[in-house]
Amino acid sequence: MERRSFLKASLAGGALAGGLGYYWYRQPGKNEFIAQTTDVQMLGEDYPNTSVWAFNDQIPGPLIRRKQGDTLAIRFTNRLPQPSTIHWHGIRLPNAMDGVPGITQAAVKSGEHFDYQFALPDAGTYWYHPHVATYEQIGRGLYGAIIVEERERIDVDEDILMVVSDIFLDKQGQIKDGFQSLHDAAHAGRLGNVILVNGQKARPKTMLRPGSRVRLRLINASSARIYRLKFHRVAPLIVAIDGHPCPVTAYKDTLYFSPGNRYDFIIDVPREEQTLMMLEDEFFPAMRNTLALFGTSNQSPLPARAPFQGLPPNAMMIEDHRNAEKITLTIEGGALSNKASRESIWLMNGKGNSHSHLDAHGNAPEPVFTVDQGCTVHCMIDNQTAWFHPMHFHGVVLRERQKDGRWGPAKDSTLVWPFEKQEIMFVAEAPGDWMIHCHVSEHHHSGLMGTFRVSNICRTTNPSKGSPTKAPATKT
């Protein structure tokens, strides 16, 4: 039977056999996210569907699109064969809504639900994913995008979202088991053999009107893969990193794009016709991956615009560098290191942690450090391993110390190179225990995680009390 007719036939058969009851069972209510096993078409019509885990039966999960200052209320219902949570990556929110099992909430067991509700203080590009067994839960398809629109309209003709991820499939197009193998955990994590953009393997050419202005948002939702972005025949402007507006910077060479990262670009489409623009990943130069193809349409060109002036900044806490707490985080372990052991492949300040030890609520690990609310933290991350670690901090916005000694733009993680040090700085904003972990999921879950505690003794010189739900002081 031809594939297409087979598809139709099996759909009809399913409806007859399952009846409406089954259909309704799978329909989420308004603002309800249901995580469950389903199958989706990601390889194209000529291939079988792939059995995955997904939010509301789609990969990526439903796009959340709200306005800055809105409140997000979502019921998360877990129908997976294992516990789960949702973490709202990069969003400044109260600790109890952060979705970390054993630390901010009990993991949501199969058949149970949890209600998340919080305000969205910052505009920009964010994403969500579980915080339980992320090597498997993200690896099987549980992730989705969040777009928080600026209060004022941004003058662009198109807003294009690309959720980039990878998946490891066998010849039948089904996900290979063997998650969290010792080998993957001690090396660069599990890299998929198919790269998906918005849940699809195919790269249809997107036609853009000559002279138009496009905002391109990229999210790296891969469980472990770091990309190195290379644009061809177009040099966009970088306007936001990890959701937060940055000084408008012309793209020059290549950009590292680690798990969890986002970039917002502005592309002014050339006014000549027949331009083929391309975005590639060249992290492994011998194995390039095409991520996007853009062509110019034959519509009449739009008139040239004044240069893009940048996005309105999100309100940031004011740093107090003079009184900063000095912290060092030393990372050890992994393959090629004698520090790695069966108990913990990775260590942070001599200790490996894992979520499985924390699953019972109230059994949180000792924090790696404690600071008062409002404190500025200078943190030196010393990577004594042979591996890249995109270190992600929950609940804060950080800056990296650049080569020239100045502090770079706001972001929520920092890529620390093998055998290198990276200094970062952040203001401890909201009280609670917040995660620090590597966003290579296999590293995260084999030791490379810990927490820092923000006590509610407020020692701040900040005029705002640091609550992300109230408007923080604006940096001038």
For residue 21, the minimal CB distance to Cu ion (Å) is 38
In the sheet with 71-78, reading across from the earlier edge strand, the strands are 50-55, 32-40, 71-78, 113-119
Cα–Cα distance, 226 to 205 (Å, whole number):
24
The smaller minimum CB distance to ligand C2O, of residues 392 and 401, is found at 392
Alpha helices in 174-237 (DSSP H): 182-186
Cα–Cα distance, 99 to 106 (Å, whole number):
9
Q: Under a CB-based contact definition with an 8 Å cutoff, are residues 129 and 84 in contact? A: no
Q: Which of the choices ligand C2O, Cu ion, none does residue 213 contact, using the CB cut-off of 5 to 8 A by kind?
A: none
The smaller minimum CB distance to ligand C2O, of residues 230 and 262, is found at 262
The smaller minimum CB distance to ligand C2O, of residues 101 and 334, is found at 101
Strands 276-281 and 289-296: antiparallel
The smaller minimum CB distance to ligand C2O, of residues 98 and 281, is found at 98
The smaller minimum CB distance to ligand C2O, of residues 215 and 355, is found at 355
Cα–Cα distance, 439 to 391 (Å, whole number):
6
Q: Is 440 in the site for Cu ion (CB under 5 A)?
A: yes
For residue 11, the minimal CB distance to Cu ion (Å) is 37
Judge residue 350's burial from the number of C-beta atoms within 10 Å of its C-beta, 0-12 exposed, 13-18 middle, 19 or more buried: exposed
For residue 134, the minimal CB distance to ligand C2O (Å) is 8
Among 85, 89, 224, 377, binds Cu ion (CB under 5 A): 89
Q: Is 377 in the site for Cu ion (CB under 5 A)?
A: no
Is the torsion defined by CA of 116, 160, 158, 231 positive or negative?
positive
Q: Which of the choices ligand C2O, Cu ion, none does residue 225 contact, using the CB cut-off of 5 to 8 A by kind?
A: none
The smaller minimum CB distance to Cu ion, of residues 317 and 381, is found at 381
The smaller minimum CB distance to ligand C2O, of residues 131 and 187, is found at 131
For residue 353, the minimal CB distance to ligand C2O (Å) is 13
Among 195, 438, 449, 454, binds Cu ion (CB under 5 A): 438
Q: Under a CB-based contact definition with an 8 Å cutoff, are residues 133 and 433 in contact? A: no
Q: Where does this chain touch Cu ion (CB under 5 A) — which range of 36-44, 244-252, 280-288, 390-398?
A: 390-398
Interface positions with ligand C2O (CB under 6 A): 87, 89, 129, 131, 260, 392, 394, 435, 437, 439
Q: Under a CB-based contact definition with an 8 Å cutoff, are residues 447 and 354 in contact? A: yes
Q: Which amino acid belongs to residue 202?
A: A
Q: Which residues pair with 195 in a beta bridge?
A: 166
Is the torsion defined by CA of 354, 359, 365, 368 positive or negative?
positive
Q: Where does this chain touch Cu ion (CB under 5 A) — which range of 83-91, 177-185, 318-326, 461-469?
A: 83-91
With tokens 């600071």, the residue in question is 371
Q: Which of the choices ligand C2O, Cu ion, none does residue 443 contact, using the CB cut-off of 5 to 8 A by kind?
A: Cu ion
Q: How far apart are the first and last CA of the chain?
A: 66
The smaller minimum CB distance to ligand C2O, of residues 223 and 376, is found at 223
Q: Which of the choices ligand C2O, Cu ion, none does residue 435 contact, using the CB cut-off of 5 to 8 A by kind?
A: ligand C2O
For residue 258, the minimal CB distance to ligand C2O (Å) is 11
Q: Under a CB-based contact definition with an 8 Å cutoff, are residues 96 and 103 in contact? A: no
Per CB under 5 A, residues contacting Cu ion are 89, 389, 394, 438, 440, 443
